[in-house]
Every structure is written in structure tokens, then in C-alpha cells.
């Protein structure tokens, strides 16, 4: 579907054309009409589907068609990088519209604080903010929030994972109750459902199935013990392929610096990237990495979403992400804009179960490659040990104590298999919850009506 068919204002269509876009993505095609009509919205879609334009375009449309003045739109996002990226995209669209926006996030100096304060005080039309920094400003009482009629929560699942739920609730308590709320999330776990029921009113529900990794990404997994990982990564990055830009993902900040130390080399630059760095440091690393001054960036999942850098040749997962969708986000940093790329995941004994779940999600068995013989043998692929409490695979211990319980010839009944939730199950639960609530309210109203009707009958009979 072309953007002209979505009933967007002519000025918006002109801006879209200037930026070189013609056809709407599936999430844009479904979300924009609902948002233009003023509906609350839940949109489940992963990064890279065009979701930013799915909420910015209808909001800009509503601002110019309804001639809204002052701060009307608040977009809350989990990271500084994503806030800056959304703000840049809004500025690109709004160049023709006379609409201002600002990104508000932590890590800046006093000058940036004053700029943010002025924007909130003077009524900048669109505010894109991380929860913590925004709340710091709101607590100062100079921010004008009384005219906010659009609230967007972007990557809501990630914000809750990062512990922002209390900040989000505090922010929402300072906003007008009458507003349009749009929630975008890559996944829909129960905690997101709970938040949606609390802040959304009769929402339209849009889901875009998680897209599979690009066919241009050569996906591989290598079975390794933890002590072999650093040496194997050095083997990969110093191989004959001569990769120019490489990202190594780690699930924890603690491991990032250890990996960087293990990869240091006089021939190229290796840098660490995590939320521990100041904003200016992170921006400098991204800038130098984009300019090929840095060859390898070792990062947490802060770089798996919201950072668009072209020509990344190789992505290495130092460990298997516990969230299957995060794997898709990580390896999606390579093979962008039609280029080719390679993604190698290092899988130890404890990560085999989680990696098997990833293969189920992407509906593909990832080839298992072997290390060079000089590294020694790695673990054998096996799921027999089941899932450990840490989410991985465990082997039975050979020195476990014998059981004191007598043997029984009576076989134990097999536990009922947990029914696998089908795709969209969260939406069914959400709708069922709304339906049940409506039925309970209707039943309560009916009971009250019956009691009121019964009272005159009783008094008449007594008389």
C-alpha cells in the first residue's frame, strides 16, 4: 500500500516523498489508520519493521490538521540511542511542517540540561525522552504537560525489563487522563498485558509476526567451552576473511571489559560499549565505528536495537541471549541495506537448550561449525540434560548421592505436558480479560437492578 492511500495530510506525503519512501510497511499500513482515527493502540512488532514511522506520521498528521499548539506529544523510549534516532526521524519529517522536537536523555552537561528545560518550559511540540531523565524534569514542576494528548511507549517490553515500570507509572500520573496512548512492543509478556489494561482504553490491536533473519546472513554456531571462547574469537577476527567491522555481543556488562582485554591488538582498535559509559563516550564510539576507525565493538544489548550502522561484516554472540527475539535483533545488525553478513554464536553446555529454542523461533537449524583441531574438543550437542534453573542444559552429575528412597516397580504417572501457547496467545488472553471484566460489570449492574426491582414487590406483598 502506498502512503497516499493512508489519508495522511498532503504536507506529510510531501515530506515522505522527499525522504524517498513510497510504500508503507505492514506495521505502518495497519497502525497509521487507527492512530489517525484517535484510537488507542497496541502494536507488537520488532525493531526494523518501520514502527517509528508508524507512530510518528499519524501524530504529526494530527498536530497539523488539528492545529495543536504547545507540547502535545510525549514519546518514551528505553535508551538514549533510540531517543536520538527517533528524534532525528521526526526532524526529517517535520522539516516541512514547522514542528519542533527534542530528545531528552541523561549523560549530558549543564548546557544540555538547560536546553531540555527550555524545551519543556516553552512547549516544544514533540518530546522524545528516556524515563529517568524525563522524571527528573517533571519533578521540577516547570514542564508543561497539561496539553499532552499523545503518549507513545516505544519498546515497552524492554523498558519494563530495564526496571522502568515505576518511572513510567509516575510519568503517566502527571499526564492528562484524556489522551491517546500508543504502545509498541517487540513481545507481549504478562507484565506488558497488565500495563496495557491499566493505561489503554479499548485499544486497537496490531500484530506483525517476528520476521526471520535476512537470508543474506550466514548463521553459524560453534560449540565451545567458556575457556575457549576468547581464543576462538581471535581466530575468527584474524582469519583470511579480513572483516572490517565486527560487533561482539555479551549478555552482561561484567563480561564486556574481560572480552575487550582478551581481544586487544596493536593492529586494530577494540572498544567496549555499555550503559556504564557517558553519553558523549557512547556517541564517539558509534561515530568512530561508523567511520571505520574502530574495528571491533564489544557491546551489551544496548547496540542490538536502535543503532543503525551499515557495512557490519560479522556479528559474534559471545553467549546465547536468553530471549529468543533478542537473537534476531543482534544478528540483524549485519547484512543491512542488501549487503551480506555473517553471524556466529558461541554455545556452551548450559546454552544449548536456549539455542534450540532460538532455532524453533527462526524455523531453521543453524549449522554447527567445529573449532580448529589446535583448540581441542568442544562439547557435544545434546539436549538430554533438560533445562537448568539458569535456563541452560545440564549434564547429570556422576558423583551425585544415591537415593535413600526404596525403588518402586509402580511407574510414576507422567505429568501433563504443558500446552504450548500459540502465536497471538497473549492477544487472546488480553481480549478474554477485557471480556471477563465487561461481563462482571454487566452482571453487577444486573444484580443491582434486580434488587431495586424486588424491593417494591416485597413491600406490596407485605401490605
Residue 418 has pLDDT above 80, yes or no: no
Looking at residue 303, its pLDDT comes to 78
pLDDT of residue 447: 52
> How does pLDDT run across 277-297, given as a tens digit for each residue?
876 788 899 899 999 999 999
Q: Which of 181-185, 302-306, 358-362, 422-426 has the lowest mean pLDDT?
A: 422-426
For position 84, what pLDDT does the model report? 92
**Rounded to the nearest 5°, which phi and psi values hold at 381?**
-65, 125
Helix axes 110-122, 131-138, angle to 10 degrees: 70
Percentage of the chain with pLDDT > 90?
59
- When comparing pLDDT for 453 and 400, which is higher? 453
pLDDT at 244 over 90: yes
Instruction: Give the model confidence (pLDDT) of 21-58 as tens digits.
Output: 889 999 999 999 999 999 999 999 876 678 899 999 99
Order of strands across the sheet that contains 296-299: 270-273, 296-299, 246-249, 314-317, 341-347, 217-223, 368-369
- The answer to whether 367 and 219 are in contact (CB under 8 A) is yes
Domain ranges of the chain: 3-207, 217-375
Which is higher by pLDDT, 323 or 154?
Answer: 154
Residue 319 in this model has a pLDDT that exceeds 50: yes
Q: What is the pLDDT of residue 459?
A: 37
The mean per-residue pLDDT over the stretch 359-372 comes to 94
As a whole number of angstroms, the distance between CA 71 and CA 120 comes to 8
Q: Assess whether the region 3-207 and the region 217-375 belong to the same CATH fold.
A: yes
What is the rounded CA–CA span in Å between residue 32 and residue 56? Answer: 9
Q: Is the pLDDT reported for residue 351 higher than 50?
A: yes
Q: Rounded to whole angstroms, how far apart are CA atoms 107 and 231?
A: 35
Percent helix, percent strand, percent coil in the chain, to nearest 5: 45, 15, 40
**202-240, pLDDT tens digit by residue?**
999 998 877 788 889 999 999 999 999 999 999 999 999
| The CATH number fitting domain 3-207, selected from 3.40.50.300, 3.40.1160.10, 3.90.700.10, 3.30.70.360 | 3.40.50.300
pLDDT class for 426, splitting at 50, 70, 90? low
Instruction: Give the confidence band of 81 by pLDDT, cuts at 50, 70, 90.
Output: confident
Predicted confidence at residue 402, as pLDDT, reads 36
Q: What is the DSSP string of 88-156?
A: HHHHHHHTTTT--EEEE-SS--HHHHHHHHHHHHHT-SEEEE-HHHHHHHHTTS-S--TT--EEEESSH
CATH architecture of 217-375: 3-Layer(aba) Sandwich (3.40)
Q: What digits encode the pLDDT tens for the residues 250-271?
A: 998 899 999 999 999 888 999 9
Q: Give the separation between CA 239 and CA 246, rounded to whole angstroms.
A: 13
State the pLDDT at residue 385.
Answer: 54
| Mean pLDDT computed over 159-187 | 92
Amino acid at each position: 500500500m502506498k502512503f497516499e492511500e493512508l489519508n495522511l495530510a498532503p504536507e506529510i506525503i510531501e515530506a515522505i516523498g522527499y525522504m524517498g519512501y513510497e510504500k508503507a510497511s505492514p506495521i505502518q499500513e495497519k497502525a497509521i489508520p487507527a492512530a489517525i482515527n484517535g484510537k488507542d493502540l497496541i502494536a507488537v512488532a520488532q525493531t526494523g519493521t518501520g514502527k517509528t514511522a508508524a507512530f510518528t506520521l499519524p501524530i504529526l498528521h494530527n498536530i497539523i490538521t488539528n492545529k495543536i499548539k504547545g507540547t502535545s506529544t510525549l514519546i518514551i523510549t528505553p535508551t538514549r540511542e533510540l531517543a536520538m534516532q527517533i528524534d532525528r526521524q521526526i526532524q526529517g519529517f517535520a522539516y516541512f511542517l514547522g514542528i519542533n522536537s527534542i530528545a531528552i536523555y541523561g549523560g549530558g552537561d549543564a548546557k544540555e540540561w538547560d536546553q531540555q528545560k527550555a524545551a519543556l518550559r516553552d512547549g516544544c511540540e514533540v518530546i522524545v525522552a528516556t524515563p529517568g531523565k524525563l522524571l527528573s524534569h517533571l519533578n521540577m514542576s516547570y514542564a508543561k504537560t497539561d496539553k499532552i494528548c499523545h503518549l507513545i511507549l516505544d519498546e515497552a517490553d524492554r523498558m519494563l525489563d530495564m526496571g522502568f515500570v515505576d518511572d513510567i507509572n509516575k510519568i503517566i500520573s502527571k499526564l492528562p487522563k484524556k489522551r491517546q496512548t500508543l504502545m509498541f512492543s517487540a513481545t507481549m509478556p504478562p507484565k506488558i498485558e497488565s500495563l496495557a489494561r491499566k493505561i489503554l482504553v479499548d485499544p486497537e490491536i496490531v500484530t506483525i509476526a517476528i520476521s526471520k533473519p535476512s537470508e543474506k546472513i550466514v548463521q553459524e554456531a560453534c560449540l565451545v567451552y567458556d575457556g575457549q571462547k576468547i581464543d576462538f574469537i581471535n581466530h575468527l577476527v584474524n582469519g583470511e576473511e579480513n572483516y572490517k567491522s565486527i560487533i561482539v555481543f555479551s549478555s552482561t556488562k561484567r563480561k564486556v571489559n574481560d572480552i575487550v582485554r582478551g581481544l586487544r591488538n596493536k593492529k586494530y582498535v577494540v572498544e567496549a560499549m555499555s550503559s556504564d559509559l557517558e553519553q558523549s563516550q557512547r556517541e564517539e564510539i558509534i561515530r568512530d565505528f561508523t567511520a571505520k576507525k574502530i574495528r571491533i565493538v564489544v557491546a551489551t544489548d544496548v547496540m542490538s536495537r536502535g543503532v543503525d550502522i551499515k557495512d557490519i561484516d560479522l556479528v559474534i554472540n559471545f553467549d546465547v541471549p536468553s530471549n529468543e527475539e533478542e537473537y534476531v535483533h543482534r544478528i540483524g545488525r549485519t547484512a543491512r541495506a542488501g549487503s551480506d553478513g555473517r553471524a556466529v554464536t558461541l554455545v556452551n553446555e548450559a546454552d544449548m537448550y536456549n539455542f534450540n529454542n532460538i532455532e524453533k523461533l527462526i524455523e531453521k537449524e543453524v549449522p554447527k561449525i567445529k573449532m580448529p583441531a589446535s583448540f581441542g574438543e568442544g562439547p557435544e550437542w545434546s539436549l538430554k540434560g533438560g533445562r537448568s534453573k539458569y535456563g541452560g542444559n545440564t549434564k547429570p552429575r556422576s558423583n551425585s548421592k544415591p537415593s535413600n528412597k526404596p525403588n518402586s516397580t509402580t511407574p510414576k504417572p507422567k505429568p501433563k505436558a504443558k500446552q504450548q501457547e500459540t502465536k497471538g496467545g497473549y492477544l487472546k488472553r488480553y481480549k478474554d480479560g477485557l471480556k471477563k471484566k465487561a461481563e462482571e460489570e454487566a452482571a453487577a449492574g444486573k444484580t443491582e437492578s434486580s434488587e431495586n426491582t424486588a424491593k417494591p414487590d416485597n413491600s406490596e406483598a407485605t401490605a
